[in-house]
Amino acid sequence: MAKRKIKRLYKMLTKLIIPVIDTESLDFDFRGNLTRDEYGEMVMDKFLKTNNQMNKFVDNIRRGVSNIPQNLQYSSTVHRDFPDIVYNFFETDVYIENGKKQNIDETFFERYINSGEMFILILNINPNMEPDAESELRFWLDDSKKIHNDTMIDTKTKLKALPQRGLKILIGKEEYVLEGCKILQDYPNEKYPFKFAIIVEKITSEK
């Protein structure tokens, strides 16, 4: 009797791209002479522009709209809605499982790419990454933990309040954007400090 071949799925190893706000290349120098009144007007003008941007940023969070550019590029880029904010993008390795901690392959994503449905992933990110990317992940994890540990709010409110991130992954030879990602649970250990479950609002193609 011939043995039936069983397709075995392994933990999917791929590339994860993490966007980080670039605070290094901004030019804060001013060359020239200003009177006290001119300086006050310049500060107020800058405040109003930044305040409008932050109001829009917070409103996007309230409405569940991602503040991360959907069209992620390897090089620095400028968000069309926030022209003063520049992003750098850092690439690292990641192992991916589904929400049931089961191994997957590239076909797992086909359903969600076509349907636009939300789904859950477990990411185990290589800790050997650029310091800026590591800091961004730690900020995201810490902010998420504060909400998860808040005993004054219910689960539904927590899910709405969790901070969002936009990430990019490589599936086969194609690049896709994971939009509106929120950390649902953290599974860290000494060897893998960046292992956690995320809910993904939707996955879209880079094209």
User: How confident is the model at residue 163, as a pLDDT?
Assistant: 93
Percent of all residues in the chain with a pLDDT value above 70, rounded to a whole number: 64
Percent of all residues in the chain with a pLDDT value above 90, rounded to a whole number: 46
Classify burial at 176, counting beta carbons within 10 Å of its beta carbon; exposed 0-12, middle 13-18, buried 19 or more. Answer: buried
CA 41 – CA 140 distance, rounded (Å) = 35
Residue 20 has pLDDT above 50, yes or no: yes
pLDDT band of 143, cuts 50, 70, 90: very high
User: How confident is the model at residue 46, as a pLDDT?
Assistant: 58
Q: Quick check: 90 and 18 in contact, CB under 8 A?
A: yes
CA 66 – CA 64 distance, rounded (Å) = 6
Q: Quick check: 206 and 177 in contact, CB under 8 A?
A: yes
87 strand-pairing partners: 21, 77
CA 111 – CA 76 distance, rounded (Å) = 31
User: How confident is the model at residue 76, as a pLDDT?
Assistant: 33
Average pLDDT, the chain: 77
Rounded average pLDDT over 167-176: 90
Rounded average pLDDT over 94-120: 91
Cα 61 to Cα 30, 33, 54, 55, 202, distances in angstroms: 33, 40, 11, 10, 16
Residue 137 has pLDDT above 90, yes or no: yes
16 strand-pairing partners: 92, 169
Residue 96 has pLDDT above 60, yes or no: yes
Q: Residue ranges per domain, the chain? A: 12-205
pTM of whole model > 0.75?
Answer: no
Q: Using one digit for the tens of pLDDT, what is the confidence trace for 22-77? A: 766 555 455 556 566 666 666 566 555 555 555 555 455 445 555 544 444 333 33
User: How confident is the model at residue 166, as a pLDDT?
Assistant: 92
Residue 206 has pLDDT above 80, yes or no: no
